[in-house]
Structure 1
Amino acid sequence: MDDDKVLETPWYFGSECDGGFAEYTRVAARHAYRIVSNLSDLELASFPCSYSTAENMLTRASVKSGETVLVTGASGGVGSAAVQLASARGARVIAVTSPGKTEKLKALGAGQVDVVIDLVAGPKWPSLMDVLRAGGRYAVAGAIGGPLVELDVRTLYLKDLRFFGCTVLEPQVFGNLVELIERGDISRLVAEAYPLCEIVAAQKAFGEKGHIGKIVLKLDQ
């Protein structure tokens, strides 16, 4: 791989690139960040890639202090990170942690939410559009509730909504995240830690969805 080449499509460890569970790997220098923190390596490992994904969504949607942000899938790694990071920006956060909250969302009333940070999609998706105010913003980086949704296009243009698909990080995102960690503005959320040799058990625990935060792998010493 040419370290100086800027890729046109995403290429991440554990997704497009093998090596997410390796003891050693190599990255271009521009993707490596120095961090000064009293947190352990295990605790620091809980930040990427969930916190960077969440921070990228908030950056794309230009979340500001005083705004109301609704986060779906708020108990997961990215969702719990989005709750913290939005709060760190001074936003008011509404966290949704289960799919059966349509009526609760509707009770907020149309025009109440400035930004939706969505990691779920699925059949309840139209209710997210209902609670976005006119001129609101919607950012998505996951579809654990199902990838197909029903959109009334009139809602999109009559409410002047803005949609953001979020995969590739904006250049400033990870550096901003490192600063937040170093200042102690956000907390690590390590749900469980497994030795690398017990990765099968770790993946099983992840699939059971009973955790809040991140499941971290420890390298064998």
Structure 2
Amino acid sequence: MKAVQVSGYGGLEKLELVETPVPKPEKGEVLVKVKACAINNTEIWMREGAYGTGSNSGWRPEGIKFPRIPGSDITGEIVQCGSEEDRLLIGKDVVLFPFTSSGERGNEHIAEDMSFIGSEYDGGYAEYVVWPADLCFDMPLKTYSDSAAFSVSGLTAWHMARQVDIQPGETVMVTGANGGVGSLNIQIASKVFGAKVIAITGDLKNEEQLKALGAAEVLSYKSTRLQEEILECNGGPVDTVLDVVGDALLAVSLKVLKKGGKFCTSGSAGGQITQLDLRILYLKHITMYGSVLGTRAEFKELLQEVSNGKIQPVIDKFFPLEKAREAQDYFKQHGKTGKVILLPKTGDDLQI
């Protein structure tokens, strides 16, 4: 099969298109013919070593074992099973829950042995992938590409909303609003939980699109009056900030939060290292949350809301699998809205 592997830490040159054997499912596993795989920051940061330095640059302390096939937002068709009892799954269209762990129900995402597809396991930048049968869920939408827009970004956004316990009528500020997590944060906060959303983006050419997703106000982080504009359009401080930017907007975010407000971060695209005046936290009684991924129960909740039509896929552009370098490069550019999707061209006559 064709696959794109990461050969080591580094730049785009570390992404290599290769021919590699089709993986074989073992007991309890299935072989999935990959039909779509969305791109996330996580596989780029994995390649760049942004989770740490040297051997400490993955989800697990031991780091990444190269070569590794990245990709975690995967949809496809089950074509083979490793166990006879799972044979009825053949032909089923599925979306993959993106990690394994031995954590108890409700704590799967914080277990010490949490292992991520595309990082600790080979992922979806390939024509086929093997995954546990019980972590393959019914596809929520009719098309593979639309259904691939939710796994990691959607689960992360849903878990963020659950952590901060968004209430109807509250004001939620969403940073990185045009990205995969940000665009879903807007929809989930507004259309599922009934909050007023202030979306922060770079280019206001996306304003109408973000308002269609549920944003009440759209502001540019490039404004020299951003803090004042946030307070003016809300008539005062906001209740919660859902952040994926990090350092670049941290100071403003904390200043516009009300006393007793909540700040939840799941990314740091605008800077991973920051300075923090702790006095702001304790004098304003701010609660800070670190958030990434979520639980299986939350994944089911998310997929149900997607299936019900409350949450829509937001897709910016498609690339063939062979153009993975170009796709990751495009993903990092500013101004796009939504997900970037890789589409493998799988040979139907491949012997498996």
Q: Could you say whether these structures have the same fold, taking a TM-score greater than 0.5 normalized by the shorter chain as the test?
A: yes
Structure 2 match to 1:66: 169
The 5 Å alignment of 1:189-204 reads 189-204=314-329
1:104 aligns with 2:104: no
Which of 129, 150, 154 is the aligned partner of 1:25? 129
Which of 309, 320, 337 is the aligned partner of 1:212? 337
Letter in 2 for 1:18: D
Larger Cα-atom Rg:
2
The 5 Å alignment of 1:175-190 reads 175-190=300-315
SS of the residue aligned with 1:79? Answer: helix
Is the Cα–Cα contact under 8 Å of residues 126 and 149 in structure 1 kept in the other structure? no
Letter in 2 for 1:148: I
Q: Structure 1 residue runs of 4+, over 4 Å off?
A: 1-4
* Mean CA deviation greater in 157-166 or 121-130: 121-130
Percent identity reads 34
Per-residue CA deviation, residues 6-50 of structure 1 (Å, 9 max, x unaligned), is: 34254222334332313322333443222453x301111111211
The 5 Å alignment of 1:111-126 reads 112-126=237-251
The 5 Å alignment of 1:130-169 reads 130-169=255-294
Per-residue CA deviation, residues 135-182 of structure 1 (Å, 9 max, x unaligned), is: 111100111111122221111111111111012413432111111111
Q: In the TM superposition, what is the alpha-carbon distance from 1:131 to its structure 2 partner?
A: 0.6
How many residues were matched structurally?
220
Is the Cα–Cα contact under 8 Å of residues 10 and 16 in structure 1 kept in the other structure? no
In structure 2, distance between residues paired with 1:32 and 1:64: 31
Could you say what the CA RMSD is over the residues aligned between the two structures, in angstroms?
Answer: 2.3
In structure 1, distance between residues paired with 2:251 and 2:184: 24
In structure 2, distance between residues paired with 1:77 and 1:120: 12
Letter in 1 for 2:225: E
In structure 1, distance between residues paired with 2:228 and 2:295: 32
The 5 Å alignment of 1:4-19 reads 5-6=102-103, 7-19=111-123
Larger strand fraction of residues:
2
Is the Cα–Cα contact under 8 Å of residues 75 and 213 in structure 1 kept in the other structure? yes
SS of the residue aligned with 1:172? Answer: helix
Q: In the TM superposition, what is the alpha-carbon distance from 1:111 to its structure 2 partner?
A: 5.3
Query: Which consecutive residues of structure 1, in runs of 5 or more, have no partner in the other structure?
Result: none
In structure 2, distance between residues paired with 1:104 and 1:207: 23
Q: In the TM superposition, what is the alpha-carbon distance from 1:87 to its structure 2 partner?
A: 1.0
Letter in 1 for 2:116: Y
Is the Cα–Cα contact under 8 Å of residues 111 and 134 in structure 1 kept in the other structure? no
SS of the residue aligned with 2:247? Answer: coil
SS of the residue aligned with 2:161? Answer: helix
Structure 2 match to 1:79: 182
Letter in 2 for 1:34: D
* TM-score relative to the length of structure 2: 0.58
Letter in 1 for 2:189: A
